[in-house]
Amino acid sequence: MELKKNLYTIGGIPVIGLAQKHGSPLYIYDTAVMIRQYERITSAFSGTRLRINYACKALTNINVLKLFRGLGSGLDAVSVQEVELGLKAGFEPRDILYTPNCVSIEEIEEAVELGVRINIDNIAILEEFGVKYGARIPVCVRINPHVLGGGNNKISTGHIDSKFGISIYQMPHVHRIVETNKMKVEGIHMHTGSDILDMETFLRASEVMFGTAKEFKELDYVDFGSGFKVPYKADDVSTDVESMGKDLTKRFNLFCKEYGKELTLIFEPGKFLVSEAGYFVARVNVIKQTTSTVFAGLDTGLNHFIRPMFYEAYHEIINVSKPGGKTRIYTVVGYICETDTFGWNRKISEATEGDYLLFRNAGAYCYAMSSNYNSRFRPAEVLVHKGVDHLIRKREEMEDLLRNQLEIDTL
């Protein structure tokens, strides 16, 4: 986003113009930022055989999937529906890694039918899978290295009680199942949570991965999941991808030498690739002065944008209608019949009814987590690509709310 001639623009297009043209509230994504982020990782890891699988649960619009496919990315899918979206977007089955958690063996069988790579994260399913497919279908094994990432406990997955992955202490059992059923383990995977802040923690988890990986003799890849942190405000610490690239490339290449084979290093970022590319615009419905604060009430709420409430996430808010205006303090809230506060005590340039407020970092886990709560329509999505804005999802209408409802005639 840029401020040019007193006008906020995304990919060169004024934000206000986009909101007026496509309506409010509105999600806007800038492909240039997605491409920049993708290339940041590929160049940081240019010294090794790298594969990026975009973790599409962050933002599943099919156009975003197609963009990443075009860049050479694979896909990380956590449900069979995401697998199907990926296939529809043109990904080859072998370029999709299906990484579910606590799903039924039936859903895993569906994914096998679709020909994608399978990542298994519990012993019961591994055994069932082995008995059924034996050496015919290779698998990846998701481990839990028990190394803690920082950040929000809702997104940390490496702790001892986590439901994700197979504990490294259970590897003897894994090997017994693999050998007995003559299974081929083609990959080892970990995803320790979304907020690894420091390289030390990450490298510690990597050492656990290497230690586990060397015991499997038929690997093709080692998948380090994600954990890339992006800045949400100016003084945020974020993952230094460039220095991580240097350190891990060296260590990974050394491991490959020891292992005796050139393996592929996989990352599966979601947030890193799309968070900063996304913006959410909403209009001020009402300015409400109470005894203790001034509320700015918007034409949206936790139904469209739940990260601030669900994760206590900080999202920068800008009044794009009054660039450079004098600032006041607001509590920015939604219109849902719940406490849906987007931000307390935010210094925003003085807002009046009808102004457009812009939220930053709205690419990842924002539209993807939206709902119809309070029977509101979900917003539209716009993709700005090469200076042109494309409507990539229509705003919902009444018939969308009623689509699957069946009226009985005895009422």
Residues forming the site for ligand PLP (CB under 6 A)? 55, 57-58, 76, 78, 99, 191, 194, 225-226, 228, 268-272, 364
- Other beta carbons within 10 angstroms of residue 407's beta carbon come to 6
In the complex with ligand PLP, the residue whose CB is nearer, 11 or 227, is: 227
DSSP string, 130-160: HHHHTTSS-EEEEEE------S-TTSB--ST
At its nearest, how many Å lie between ligand PLP and the CB of residue 91?
A: 16
At its nearest, how many Å lie between ligand PLP and the CB of residue 219?
A: 18
- Other beta carbons within 10 angstroms of residue 229's beta carbon come to 22
Using CB positions, name the residue nearest to ligand PLP: 270
Whether residue 337 lies in the annotated active site? yes
At its nearest, how many Å lie between ligand PLP and the CB of residue 78?
A: 5
At its nearest, how many Å lie between ligand PLP and the CB of residue 97?
A: 9
Residue of 56, 140, 337, 366 marked catalytic? 337
Could you tell me whether strands 278-289 and 26-30 are parallel, antiparallel, or unpaired per DSSP bridges? Answer: antiparallel
Closest CA to 216 of 163, 168, 249, 253: 168
In the complex with ligand PLP, the residue whose CB is nearer, 145 or 225, is: 225
In the complex with ligand PLP, the residue whose CB is nearer, 107 or 396, is: 107
Residue 6 backbone zone (phi > 0: left; psi -120 to 50: alpha; other: beta)? left
Strand partners, 141: 120, 188
Burial 10-27 (b: 16+ CB within 10 A, else e): bbebbbbebbeebebbbb
In the complex with ligand PLP, the residue whose CB is nearer, 96 or 351, is: 96
- In eight-state DSSP terms, residue 56 is G
- Mind telling me the catalytic residues? 337
